[in-house]
Chain A
């Protein structure tokens, strides 16, 4: 019995000389895995137009019914996204979302992607319903945001050629 105790105490003693494993969280953040799924974002094309066309396939694919999409018509005067329609309202209830990534899979234009951000906490349930303004990424440097005034007939298709290329 003594040898077992000594064996155990030796392990404790050995650990004294090892560096601590604790990650000093708020200051030091451990990098997440490549395939980690966190908070969503809505992406844009290189010319600043929104990728989301308001088809609500993400809302249909969502197992927790966390996504609410309301579509509206695009015009060439006020163009938000290529094609006929854009998402006027896009809300994700982060308290319903289970971060499964099905919305990402369902999206035909790769508009919605799940990012690395995981710090989602708030003092009320209402603050955790993320609206379109909170989800959409800012337009690329030097490009205008939406709505844009474009030439007539320049954006007849719902997906731009760059949207057909699946990005990593």
Chain B
């Protein structure tokens, strides 16, 4: 951009700091290994060699919330699990994102009863919802790509300034 045009070919490329930070954030977004139910099987499948989420820099399912950036809520959240989930979310360092995978995590799904939290967004702020019961590994990866798009379009220090794209 600007600088190279003025000074000619210097063998360097300049970029906006915001773009570089977002590039780093989207290409090494480590998920928290947090499987709750059958969706976790599909999450593991997305991690395995056929779909291989390490292509997106997500090869490590961190066992500790302190080392993770993305929480994939894979499965139904019972009322008993809810405080644990919130605690894990609070322990994750900023910036952090939440992907609600599957019907049960997103809105209770078929379990419309007193034992299940009717949508994990009652407890934590959710960035992307993935529908499916359970979603295919491809559908999960599609949701992750949409989350990456959202991160890319947001300002790394001021938060989301651009409205997310309508799907």
Contacts and interface: CB of A to CB of B under 8 A. Distances in A.
A94 interface: yes
B110 interface: yes
Contacts of B138: 25, 29-30, 118-119
B103 A95 contact: yes
Interface in B48-80: 49-52, 55
Contacts of B50: 21-23
A64 B129 contact: no
Most buried by B among A25, A64, A127: A25
Contacts of B137: 25
B139 interface: yes
Nearest to A123: B164
Interface in A101-128: 118-125, 127-128
A98 interface: yes
A161 interface: no
A97 B55 CA distance: 30
B128 A122 contact: yes
A95 B135 CA distance: 11
B166 interface: yes
Given A119-B138, A125-B107, A97 B51 contact: no
A86 to B, nearest CB: 27
Interface string A73-111: 000000000000000000001111111000000000000
Interface of A: 20-26, 29-30, 63-65, 93-99, 118-125, 127-128
